Amino acid sequence: MRSLVAVPVLLLLAQLLGACHGQEQRKNYVVHLEPRDDEGSAALPVEDWHRSFLPEAAPSSAGDGGADAGPRIIYSYSHVLTGFAARLSDAEAEALRGRAGCIRLYPEVFLPLATTHSPGFLGLQTGKDGFWSRSGFGRGVVIGLVDTGILPSHPSFGDAGMPPPPKKWKGACEFKAIAGAGGCNNKVIGARAFGSAAVNDTAPPVDDAGHGTHTASTAAGNFVENADVRGNAHGTASGMAPHAHLAIYKVCSRSRCSIMDVIAGLDAAVKDGVDVISMSIDVSDGAQFNYDLVAVATYKAIERGIFVSAAAGNAGPAAGSVSNCAPWMLTVAAGTTDRAIRTTVKLGNGQEFDGESLFQPHNNSAGRPLPLVFPGASGDPDARGCSSLPDSVSGKVVLCESRGFKEHVEQGQTVKAYSGAGMILMNKPEEGYTTFANAHVLPASHVSNAAGSKITAYFKSTPSPTASITFKGTVLGISPAPTVAFFSSRGPSKASPGILKPDISGPGMNILAAWAPSEMHPEFIDDVSLAFFMESGTSMSTPHLSGIAAVIKSLHPSWSPAAIKSALMTSSDPADHAGVPVKDEQYRRASFFTMGAGYVNPSRAVDPGLVYDLSPNDYIPYLCGLGYGDDGVKEIVHRRVDCAKLKPITEAELNYPSLVVKLLSQPITVRRTVKNVGKAGSVYTAVVDMPKEVSVTVRPPMLRFSKVNERQSFTVTVRWAGKQPAVAGAEGNLKWVSPEHVVRSPIVVPPAKVVA
Cβ–Cβ < 8 Å for 203, 195: no
How far apart CA 324 and CA 545 sit, in angstroms, is 15
Residues β-bridged to residue 75: 85
Q: How far is CA 664 from CA 496, 661, 699, in A?
A: 18, 9, 22
Q: CA-CA-CA-CA torsion for 584, 585, 588, 590, nearest 10 degrees?
A: -10
CA dihedral (386, 390, 394, 399) positive or negative: negative
How far apart CA 385 and CA 370 sit, in angstroms, is 20
Which pairing describes strands 27-33 and 102-107: parallel, antiparallel, or unpaired? antiparallel
Is 207 marked active-site? no
Cβ–Cβ < 8 Å for 523, 441: yes
Q: Which amino acid is at 138?
A: G
Residues β-bridged to residue 87: 28
Q: Which amino acid is at 16?
A: L
Residues β-bridged to residue 749: 730
Cβ–Cβ < 8 Å for 501, 654: no
- State the maximum Cα–Cα separation within the chain, in Å, rounded to a whole number: 86
Q: How far is CA 26 from CA 4, 14, 23, 170, 194, in A?
A: 19, 9, 9, 34, 20
How many C-alpha atoms does 654 have within 13 Å on its Cβ side?
30
How far apart CA 324 and CA 495 sit, in angstroms, is 10
How far apart CA 6 and CA 62 sit, in angstroms, is 10
- Of the candidates 323, 539, 546, 560, the residue annotated as catalytic is 539
How far apart CA 339 and CA 233 sit, in angstroms, is 8
- Of the candidates 32, 50, 117, 211, the residue annotated as catalytic is 211
Q: Which burial class, exposed, middle or buried, applies to 463 when counting CB atoms under 10 A from its CB (0-12, 13-18, 19+)?
A: exposed
- Of the candidates 68, 147, 207, 576, the residue annotated as catalytic is 147
Helices (H), 418-486: 449-461
Closest CA to 711 of 606, 617, 613, 595: 613
Helices (H), 304-361: none
Cβ–Cβ < 8 Å for 177, 183: yes
Helix, strand, or coil (residue 335)? strand
Cβ–Cβ < 8 Å for 158, 187: yes
Helix, strand, or coil (residue 460)? helix
Is 539 marked active-site? yes
How far apart CA 204 and CA 181 sit, in angstroms, is 11
Is 382 marked active-site? no
How far apart CA 60 and CA 43 sit, in angstroms, is 21
How far apart CA 80 and CA 292 sit, in angstroms, is 13
The residues carrying an active-site annotation are: 147, 211, 539
